[in-house]
Amino acid sequence: MAPFIRLRSISKHFVDVVAVDDLSLDIEKGELFCLLGASGCGKSTLLRLLAGFESPTKGVIEIDGQDMGGVAPANRPVNFMFQNYALFPHMSVTDNIGYGLRRAGMRGTELAERVDSLLKLVRLHELGGRKPHQLSGGQRQRVALARALARRPKLLLLDEPLAALDKKLREDTQFELVDIQEKLGTTFIVVTHDQEEAMTLAGRIGIMDAGQLVQVDAPRRLYERPKSSFVADFLGTISFVDAVVASCDKTSITIGGDLNICAACDDDLPVGAAVKLAIRPEKIYLSRTKSGNVNEIEVVVEDLAYLGFATNYRVKTASGQMFKLQQQQRRSLDAPLSWGETGYVHFDPQDVIVLQD
């Protein structure tokens, strides 16, 4: 079966910028897909191309097997939820939600019932008579969602749906959004620059940079097994070690020099090849005394930040290699290492990511 959404070699050029550059992507029906990237990476443009507000300079967009070339936004089985919600300020919540339904010719009790069920879906059934300016940020977000879902689109596009909410509210709303998506089974494409949001929401994430998709994968794979140092660095915190392969036997590689690190590896790498090793901070263990583990290195504490639930460290080896690591405070009476103290770090070879770019 053909994928539900198919982008084939899409490019979008504005006067002097290439916003989307020869991008191809398939999305399955019912998926919650996140486009993640820094501002200006082309993710919003891609969303507007899908909505039909812009047309691609090159390439084909297919939705549910139908070529979208020349199809106006109103005639696509797609609705859009805007970043600042774009509610109609002079209309009540009910009229906002009913706007698209009226355009589709729905009137009377049918209209009232549909609007009512949408209000219930987003838990706003008592606020139908309010104007947008009489609502809180979170309520406005829910009106925008209900309005975008009113015409029962096959695909819902959400541009930074939670960016305008404060942190606490954002966390609750994330789960609510996922619940609604699962209940309706509508395909969602969410654009965001917030990686935590993308990780929470998405089944799959596409990371964009300079108009191209760098990697498309499930959140866990993107974090644990990034394919490039860009993705590794973009998602969360990571320490890089520039290294040269000293030996490789298809299951592990060793690098020489002043640091002797062992890493798990599926690829056959020639001896002498330049690689980049990357290690996540929570995968690095810090101790006061030598433990005798593999990949143990003596370090000096350069910097630390106490976060309550954990402490972030920046440690330095004798050769000047920096590691960023995070240590959980499991026992509150542990005496942590302090500035300038010497300790030992170690990490599992399985947790070392080998990058070849």
Partner 1 sequence: MGRMNGLVLSLGALGFGILYLPIIIMVIFSFNAGKLVSVWSGASLKWYAGLLKNDQLLSAFGTSLLIAVWAATIATIFGICIAVAFVRFGNFRSRLALSAIASAPLVMPEIVTGLSMLLLFISMESLFGWPSGRGVDTIIIAHATFGMCFAAVVIQARLRDFDMAIEEAAADLGATQPFIFLSITLPVIAPAVVAAWLLAFTLSFDDLVIASFVSGPGSSTLPIVIFSKVRLGVTPEINALATVMIVVVAAAVIGASWAIRRRLSSRDQNQ
**What does the binding site for partner 1 look like in residue numbers (CB under 8 A)?**
51, 53, 72-74, 78-80, 82-84, 86-90, 99-100, 103-104, 133-135, 147-148, 150-151
Q: How far is the CB of 80 from partner 1 (least distance, A)?
A: 5
Closer CB to partner 1, 74 or 271, in the complex: 74
Give CA–CA dist 101/97, Å, rounded.
8
Nearer to partner 1, 104 or 307 (CB): 104
Structure tokens at 71: 């199809």
Nearer to partner 1, 149 or 301 (CB): 149
Between residues 87 and 199, which has the closer beta carbon with respect to partner 1? 87
- 76, with CB counted inside 10 A (0-12, 13-18, 19+), is buried
Q: Measured from the CB of residue 54, what is the shortest distance to partner 1 in angstroms? A: 11
Pick between residue 80 and residue 188 the one whose CB is nearest to partner 1: 80
Residue 296 belongs to what H/E stretch?
Answer: strand 296-306
Q: Which is nearer to partner 1, 88 or 306 (CB)?
A: 88
Residue 37 beta carbon to partner 1: minimum distance, rounded to whole angstroms: 20
Residue 28 CB, shortest distance to partner 1, in Å, is 23
Q: Give the angle subtended at the CA of 25 by the CAs of 202 and 206, to the nearest 5°.
A: 35
In the complex, the smallest distance separating the C-beta of residue 121 from partner 1, rounded to whole angstroms, is 17
Q: Which two tokens stand for residue 303?
A: 């910097």
Long-range contacts for 318-321 (Cβ within 8 Å, ≥24 apart)? 318/258, 319/257, 319/258, 319/259, 321/241, 321/259
Cβ distance to partner 1 smaller for residue 74 or 294: 74
Instruction: Please state the closest distance from residue 68 (CB atom) to partner 1, in A.
Output: 14
Q: Identify the helix (H) or strand (E) that includes residue 56.
A: none
User: What whole-number distance in Å separates Cα of residue 116 and Cα of residue 94?
Assistant: 8
User: Listing from the earlier edge strand, what are the strands of the sheet with 58-63?
Assistant: 18-27, 5-13, 58-63, 66-67
CB of 86 to partner 1, least distance (A): 4
For residue 268, what are the CA distances in angstroms to 24, 257, 261, 273?
29, 20, 17, 11
d(CA 173, CA 2): 32
Which pair of structure tokens corresponds to residue 347?
């990490």
Helix or strand holding residue 9 (H, E): strand 5-13
Alpha carbon 16 to its chain's center: 28
**Closer by beta carbon to partner 1, 44 or else 321:** 44
Beta bridge partners of 11: 58
CB of 157 to partner 1, least distance (A): 9
